[in-house]
Structure 1
Amino acid sequence: MIIFRGMLLLMLAMNFTCSAASWRINYPRPLSEDDRRNEYPLKLLALALDQTGVNYQLIASDRIMPQSKALKRLMDNREVNIVWSMTDEQREEMLLPVRIPIYKGLIGWRIFLIRKDMDSRFKYIQNLEHLLKLNPIQGSDWPDTKIMQANGFEVVTATEHGALFAMLSAAQGDFFPRSIVEIWDEFETNNPRNNIEIESRLGLRYPAAMYYFVNKKSVPLANLIKTGLEMAIKNGKFDELFLAVHQPYIDAADLKNRTFYQLQNSYLPIKTPLHRKELWFENKQPIVTTDTSAIEPQN
């Protein structure tokens, strides 16, 4: 409550009143017409801005840019002035995070895309050590890649998002971990040889947060977004939107019948608000576990 009131007072002191403020906010254009990953972050951003009463425009960048380029453009204060991305220490050093996890931590709940011919192999996995013998596929500049490498995985990487699905399909890796809020849409639109499926028994879980990031100098914009998000959290509209969009994905993941292996995330910045339980997804179903390396994830 103290933080929330402080943000409001700061906005008022800087003359960002509801009647006078007008904002033009440029975000990275989706990678393709089928890429739906921007939909929820844009809805949540609009909700936050609506809470504050400011006038605003959300405008896609003229050019398509992968996340690595978007983050570089944001750091240089060119073409875009907001990007949503998973956080790590390096990104928080380069950019200014709004430290409210927009996916409530679900970005760290990972289930697997696999080739259909690997289905029987995955049925025999009984512990994390078995899974470590297989090679996950990830983006070369993703924080997830460093997390998995630090936990003992030999990760196969590529720079282009679309290439990762082709690599899996061509047996250049064994499985492609995706968050339960991403995997369903990506499965529908990225199955080049129709030989990929969603594995039904297993998952990985590590603490992770996806934030809105702005340029280091864009403190007023960060304050505006944070204030709106805090207001939406307080009045319940944040959770209302989150569940409206993601409850079907959570249900489809069938959490109660999956074994999630817990990984450590040593790259999670110390300022991550893990103490604020209202910001994180709470799993209400018991997680099936088989040994001490598969433990119930904690927020």
Structure 2
Amino acid sequence: MQVVNYRIPSTPIDQYENYTIEVLRLALEKTRASYGDYQLRPLPEGVNRLRAKKALASNEYSDLVIEDSYDGSESADVSYIEFPIDLGVLSYRVCFVNPDVAPVVAAAKTLEELKRYRILQGIHWADTKVLNANGFKTLEVFAYKSSFRMVASGRADLFCLGASQIMNEYLNNNTGLQLSINDSFYFYYKLPRFFFLSSRSKVLKRRIEQGLLLAYQDQSLQALWDKNFLTSLRFIQLDKRKKFALNNPLNSHLNPAYEQYFAPLPEITQAIDTSSKK
């Protein structure tokens, strides 16, 4: 039986990280007939994303699989599967906004106007490099939970997350904060999220890659995506927002074939909005 190690979600309510575990399980199920049984084994509690990424390079845990943004800095000891496991949903970034600047941010017509404001990001997020490359001022925060308090209190102006994450974070981090969500725009930059493994895990890499393609072809992956994200996308209504497209220089050496699997989110949210009115 193949034992596959994975990192447990940072918090039990982290919908996105729970989704990635479901995707991993789905890929392994799709290949059970050809590769045999498997067991998913969680890493010890407290192993964060950065520590897990280092563990891949050292092969501290055999057949470890984690998901992360591609940033072009992977070592030769780490490999990745060029399939965007979230179908590109985190490429669409919606922002919490400091209430004091919310009106002027909402009135912004150009990227240059938005570059006046400080954008919070988590420590070592690929988004920080993308935003900096596009001329934005960023502030990295080590404690993710404190980001909500910082933007609500005015210690930063914007805190941007994936469109699929905003509703869950709003509902679970708003106690006493009166969080405000900007509803006028979203940033878009191609931010593929891949499964990463040790370069030694060649058989497991082939298995997961085949499983992802099978799940995509029979649409069970899309069904899982719908179950996890459609409600959030209905809440955020991308089709009613202005799009600000940014360049992601981290992808410059990446094969663009992964883009064929990206879901067309504004069109999907428009269809959701239309169907909900019938």
Coarse TM-score class (shorter-chain normalised): 0.7 to 0.9
Structure 2: gaps spanning 5 or more residues:
270-278
The higher-RCO structure (CA 8 Å, 6+ apart) is 2
Match of residue 37, structure 1, among 2, 16, 19:
16
How do 1:224-235 residues align onto structure 2 when only pairs under 5 Å count?
224-235=207-218
Residue 64 (structure 1) aligned with residue 46 (structure 2): yes
3-state SS in 2 of match to 1:116: coil
Match of 2:120 in 1: 137
Letter in 2 for 1:149: N
RMSD: 2.2
| Pair 1:166 & 2:149 matched | yes
- Which residue matches 1:9? none
Q: How many residue pairs get matched?
A: 266
Single out whichever of 191-200 and 230-239 deviates more from structure 2.
191-200
- 1:47 to partner: Cα distance: 1.0
The yes-or-no answer on 1:246 pairing with 2:239 is no
Deviation at 1:239, TM superposition (A): 1.6
Q: Specify which of 11, 27, 39 is matched with residue 6 of structure 2.
A: 27
The CA deviation at 1:195 is: 2.5
> What is the match of residue 103 of structure 2?
120
**Shift in Å at residue 192 of structure 1?**
5.5
Superposition deviation, residue 286 in structure 1: 10
**TM-aligned CA distance change 1:27 to 1:238, over 3 Å:** same
- Taking the aligned partners of 1:276 and 1:112, their CA distance within structure 2 comes to 24
Amino acid in structure 1 at the alignment position of 2:5 = N
Unmatched 5+ stretches in structure 1 = 1-21, 288-299
**Structure 1 residue 221: Cα displacement:** 1.0
Aligned to 1:111: 94
> How far has the Cα of 1:71 moved from its partner?
0.8
Question: What is the distance in 1 between the residues matched to 2:258 and 2:84?
Answer: 12
User: TM-score, normalised to structure 1's length?
Assistant: 0.82
Q: Distance in 2 between matches of 1:233 and 1:122?
A: 38
Would the aligned equivalents of 1:201 and 1:258 in 2 still touch at CA under 8 Å?
yes
Q: Does the 8 Å CA contact 1:99/1:273 hold for their aligned counterparts?
A: no
- Mapping 1:46-85, distance limit 5 Å: 46-53=25-32, 54-79=36-61, 81-85=64-68
Structure 1 residue 256 and structure 2 residue 239: aligned? yes
Aligned counterparts of 1:275 and 1:49: Cα–Cα separation in 2: 20
The amino acid across from 1:130 in the alignment is E
CA displacement 1:144-180 (0-9 Å, x = unmatched): 1000000000101122322322322332210011001
- Report the Cα offset of residue 206 of structure 1: 0.3
